[in-house]
A and B are shown apart, each in its own frame.
Chain A
Amino acid sequence: MTPALPLAALGLIDAAFSGFRAYAGRDARIRKHRAVLRASLRGLAVGSALLLVPILTACAVLLTATDQSRAYDRLVDGGTAYLLCIAAYALAVALSLAAYFVLPFRASTLAMVIGLGPLTLLRPLVLAAGCTVALAAGGWPSLLVSATAGAAALATEQIVHRRWYSRPL
């Protein structure tokens, strides 16, 4: 099974969260559900565009390979390893988010302190780890594709922030 679809789904979800993070801390209003939604959609739009880069990179790798079948298998191996790495991270984020929103304020603080806060800092490291396992499982072409995917994921927040939220609203 190709890991492309779950990877794309995770990439799009991550892009929406990146949009939120780009906005967070820039709007001191109390009621801001619509602004949060708008920021998430902006992240989704920018992230969708940026995700084309790893997709095109993967296509280029396949088209230029001498043995396309083998190159495809290697990309699947690398992509699967990459997916497992970031899926574990995504699961930790999802559990922390669920705990944050469902539990009373003391427990939700715990979810924030030991979950969501540190996980934000770990995000670049997780992507780097994903690239490493992709290299180990699928060789240099997989590293190339996973590195562009990681760079696209990291760039989304920066682009949305600079484009729309460089100053307090």
Chain B
Amino acid sequence: MPQFEISDLITVTDPRSLRRAPVRRDDVLRTLAEAGNRRAARIVGTLPVDGDGVLDPAAVDRLLIGVHTELQRLSEEMRIGERVLHLLGPLLEAIRETAEPGARLRLVDIGCGLGYLVRRLAATRALGPGVELIGVDLDAALAGEAARLAQAEGLDCRFVHANAFDLPEAATVYVSTGVLHHFRGPALAEFLQAQAASSAVAFCHFDIAATPITPLGAWVFHRARMRHPLGRHDGVASARRAHSDETLLHAADIPGIRPLVYEPRGLANPFCTTLRPLLGIRPHLEEPFRRAMGRASRRLVGPERFAA
């Protein structure tokens, strides 16, 4: 049975036109019924619709902003900002070392949601000067709320309702947190190939570490921290959909890209590593990146670790 996240079903945006498509509640319920997910169907059944049975977009937006706000609490508690910086710091150091002096770097957070990572990096100025911080999301409501939050705190970053690959300015590094598991089948490799085909020199995508205890841990945490049933449901569903290290490395095995996973299963305590990143870096960056990582680079492995 396929695992669905409700949030993927109740809002649909065309990645090219950025137009939001009307979503009929009955269609979502049918999809969930076919997947045998009665609990998700019950949750969707409570969402308001108009006279044509189309989900009320304003209500869906309010709900998703609420759920993402709660989700940010999990990111804060799991110290996702520090975890990302632990890798991004050395990565940008390596990029600066190999780039032209004074070159401006642009970090683009794909599927940024409420932009927690970008706003935190902006608030702490942890990446140093000369790094432009941009958050991108296909969901207009989330991107708009991220922009509002950044403005409210006077943060030096911006948020765009757009397809990350259609931005007028090229990214130096693409990042994301909790996005990769949304790409199923060939879409995962296509997503990574689009970044490899751009002028970006690296990508760093953090996603849920797939271990046997992940679904149980996700249940405990989302039960303890999330209030809305949708957040609780999707938290566990996303843990069940998490890609294995091998799947990620295989999908990122693209010409011109060196795929790496940091703290893969077997090299990290699963209780300490709830999210771990898939990196793709241009080959010339690997040596300076490993040097900048120091001893921690031992936890950085490529597909050869999983070769038969």
Contact = CB atoms under 8 A, between A and B. Distances in A.
A106 interface: yes
Nearest to B213: A113
Contacts of B227: 25
Contact of A110 (B70, B73, B83, B269): B269
A104 to B, nearest CB: 8
A107 interface: yes
Nearest to B119: A30
Contact of A25 (B73, B78, B123, B271): B73
* Contact size range, A: 20 to 34
A114 B86 CA distance: 23
A121 B73 CA distance: 16
B306 to A, nearest CB: 23
A53 B119 CA distance: 44
Contact of B225 (A29, A31, A107, A117): A117
A113 B274 contact: yes
A105 B79 contact: yes
Interface in B138-173: 145, 149, 152-153, 155
A167 interface: yes
A29 to B, nearest CB: 6
B117 to A, nearest CB: 10
B217 A113 contact: yes
Contacts of B83: 105
A58 B271 CA distance: 43
B37 interface: no
A120 B224 contact: yes
B120 A30 contact: yes
A109 B221 contact: no
Of A24, A106, A116, A167, chain B has the most CB atoms within 10 Å of the CB of A106
A29 B152 contact: yes
Given A30-B153, A168-B66, A109 B272 contact: yes
Contact of A30 (B70, B123, B273): B123
A30 B122 CA distance: 10
Interface in A60-108: 105-108
Nearest to A161: B227
19 contacts: A24-B225, A25-B69, A25-B73, A25-B227, A27-B69, A28-B69, A30-B119, A30-B120, A30-B123, A105-B79, A106-B269, A106-B273, A109-B79, A112-B77, A113-B274, A114-B271, A117-B77, A117-B220, A168-B69
Given A25-B70, A25-B225, A28-B69, 8 more contacts: A28-B145, A30-B155, A105-B79, A108-B79, A110-B269, A113-B274, A121-B220, A121-B223
Interface of B: 65-66, 68-70, 72-73, 77-79, 82-83, 86, 114, 116, 119-120, 123, 145, 149, 152-153, 155, 217, 220-221, 223-227, 269, 271-274
